[in-house]
Structure 1
Amino acid sequence: MKYVNMSKQVLEHIGGVENLNHVEHCATRLRLHYNSKKLVNEEALKGIENVVGIVSKAGQVQVIIGPNVNEAYNDFLDVSGWKEEQHSGAGSGAEEPEEKKAMYYVNKFGSFMATIFMPIVPALITGGIILALRNLLINYFGVDMESGTAVILNAIFSAAFTFLPVYIGFTMAKRLKMEPIMGAFLGALLVSSNISGVEGLDFLGISIPVVDYSSSVLPIMLGVGLMYFVDKFFQKYIPETVKYFLKPLFTMIVVVPITLIALGPIGTVLSDYVGIGVTNLMDNIGGVAMPILAALYPYMVMLGLDKAIMPIGFNSVASIGYDPVVMVMGFISNLCIGGTALAVATSIKNDKSKKGMIASFGVTALCGVTEPAFYGALIMRPKVLIGTAIGAVSAGLVAGIFGLVSYVMGGCPGLLTALFFIDNDGGFGNLILAGIVAILAIVVSFVASKIILSKTETNKNSNSETEIKEVI
Structure 2
Amino acid sequence: MNYSGKINKEALTNLEGSLGYVFKNEQIQMIVGANVNEAYNDFLEVSGYDDKNPRKKEALEEAQDQKRNFKYYVDLVGGFFAELFMPIVPALITGGVILAANNLLINYFNVSPESGTAQIILAIFSAAFSMLPIYLGYTTARKLKLSPILGAFLGAILVNPSISAVEGLDFLGIPVTTVDYGGSVLPVILGVLFMYYVDKILDKLIPEFIKYFLKPFLTMLIVVPFTLILFGPIGTILSQYVGNGITWLMSNAGFIALPILSALYPYMVMLGLDKAIMPIGFQAVETLGYDPVVVVIGFISNLCIGASALAVSRFVKENKEKSGAYFSFGLTGVFGITEPAFYGALIGRPKALIGTAIGAISGGIFAAIFALKSFVMGGAPGLFTLLFFLDPDGSMSNMIIALLTGAISIAVSFFATTFILRYDKKRNEAHTLSNEAVLDNEQQTGR
- TM-score normalized with structure 1 length: 0.87
- Could you tell me which of 429, 434, 439 is aligned with 1:461? 429
Q: What are the within-5 Å matches in structure 2 for residues 140-289 of structure 1?
A: 140-289=108-257
Q: Secondary structure of 1:339's partner?
A: helix
What amino acid sits opposite 2:405 in the alignment?
V
What amino acid sits opposite 2:373 in the alignment?
V
Q: Secondary structure of 1:144's partner?
A: coil
Instruction: Could you tell me which runs of 5 or more consecutive residues in structure 1 were left unpaired when the two chains were aligned.
Output: 1-35
Q: Secondary structure of 2:24's partner?
A: strand
CA displacement at 1:149 relative to structure 2 = 0.4
CA displacement at 1:308 relative to structure 2 = 0.6
Structure 1 residue 413 corresponds to structure 2 residue 402: no
CA displacement at 1:49 relative to structure 2 = 3.6
Structure 1 residue 343 corresponds to structure 2 residue 346: no
Q: What are the within-5 Å matches in structure 2 for residues 355-366 of structure 1?
A: 355-366=323-334
- Could you tell me which of 413, 424, 427 is aligned with 1:445? 413
Overall identity of the aligned pairs, in %: 56
Q: Secondary structure of 2:22's partner?
A: strand
Q: 1:373 to 1:188 in 2, by over 3 A?
A: same
Q: Do 1:55 and 1:64's aligned partners in 2 also have CA atoms closer than 8 Å?
A: no
CA displacement at 1:77 relative to structure 2 = 6.2
Q: Do 1:164 and 1:217's aligned partners in 2 also have CA atoms closer than 8 Å?
A: yes
Give CA-to-partner distance per residue, 1:100-129, whole Å, 9 cap, x none: 110011011111110100110000100111
Whole-Å separation in 2 of the counterparts to 1:418 and 1:115: 25
Whole-Å separation in 2 of the counterparts to 1:72 and 1:111: 25
Q: Do 2:132 and 2:185's aligned partners in 1 also have CA atoms closer than 8 Å?
A: yes
Structure 1 residue 117 corresponds to structure 2 residue 82: no
CA displacement at 1:91 relative to structure 2 = 1.8
Which structure's CA Rg is the greater one?
Answer: 2
User: Which residue matches 2:106?
Assistant: 138
Whole-Å separation in 1 of the counterparts to 2:397 and 2:206: 60
Whole-Å separation in 2 of the counterparts to 1:361 and 1:89: 31
Q: Do 1:67 and 1:369's aligned partners in 2 also have CA atoms closer than 8 Å?
A: no
Q: How many residues end up aligned between the 2 structures?
A: 435
Whole-Å separation in 2 of the counterparts to 1:130 and 1:280: 31
- Could you tell me which of 286, 294, 305 is aligned with 1:318? 286
Whole-Å separation in 1 of the counterparts to 2:35 and 2:304: 22
User: Which residue matches 2:75?
Assistant: 107
User: Which residue matches 2:445?
Assistant: none
Give CA-to-partner distance per residue, 1:132-172, whole Å, 9 cap, x none: 11111111111111010010001001000000000001011
Q: Do 2:164 and 2:182's aligned partners in 1 also have CA atoms closer than 8 Å?
A: yes
- Could you tell me which of 378, 391, 396 is aligned with 1:423? 391
Whole-Å separation in 2 of the counterparts to 1:83 and 1:449: 40
Q: 1:221 to 1:63 in 2, by over 3 A?
A: farther
- Could you tell me which of 283, 287, 298 is aligned with 1:330? 298
Q: 1:347 to 1:67 in 2, by over 3 A?
A: closer
- Could you tell me which of 353, 357, 361 is aligned with 1:393? 361
Q: Which has the higher contact order (CA 8 A, sep 6+)?
A: 2
What amino acid sits opposite 2:320 in the alignment?
K
Whole-Å separation in 2 of the counterparts to 1:384 and 1:85: 41
Q: 1:403 to 1:308 in 2, by over 3 A?
A: same
What amino acid sits opposite 1:383 in the alignment?
K
Which deviates further from its counterpart, 49-58 or 302-311? 49-58
Q: Secondary structure of 2:350's partner?
A: coil
Instruction: Could you tell me which runs of 5 or more consecutive residues in structure 2 were left unpaired when the two chains were aligned.
Output: 441-447
Q: Secondary structure of 1:159's partner?
A: helix
Q: 1:55 to 1:163 in 2, by over 3 A?
A: farther
Whole-Å separation in 2 of the counterparts to 1:42 and 1:405: 46
Q: What are the within-5 Å matches in structure 2 for residues 86-105 of structure 1?
A: 87=55, 90-91=58-59, 94-105=62-73
User: Which residue matches 2:352?
Assistant: 384
CA displacement at 1:95 relative to structure 2 = 2.4
User: Which residue matches 2:22?
Assistant: 54
Whole-Å separation in 2 of the counterparts to 1:147 and 1:219: 34
Q: 1:266 to 1:287 in 2, by over 3 A?
A: same
Q: 1:52 to 1:468 in 2, by over 3 A?
A: closer
User: Which residue matches 2:444?
Assistant: none
Whole-Å separation in 2 of the counterparts to 1:460 and 1:351: 19
Q: Secondary structure of 2:378's partner?
A: coil
Q: Do 2:31 and 2:344's aligned partners in 1 also have CA atoms closer than 8 Å?
A: no
User: Which residue matches 2:443?
Assistant: none
Whole-Å separation in 2 of the counterparts to 1:83 and 1:383: 38
CA displacement at 1:467 relative to structure 2 = 1.6
Whole-Å separation in 2 of the counterparts to 1:410 and 1:398: 22
Q: Do 2:12 and 2:20's aligned partners in 1 also have CA atoms closer than 8 Å?
A: no
What amino acid sits opposite 1:265 in the alignment?
P
Query: What value does the CA root-mean-square deviation take over the aligned residues?
Result: 2.4
Give CA-to-partner distance per residue, 1:409-457, whole Å, 9 cap, x none: 1111111010000011222111110000000000001111111011111
Q: Secondary structure of 2:224's partner?
A: helix
What amino acid sits opposite 2:414 in the alignment?
F
Q: Do 2:33 and 2:325's aligned partners in 1 also have CA atoms closer than 8 Å?
A: no
CA displacement at 1:42 relative to structure 2 = 9.1
- Could you tell me which of 316, 320, 341 is aligned with 1:352? 320
What amino acid sits opposite 1:286 in the alignment?
G
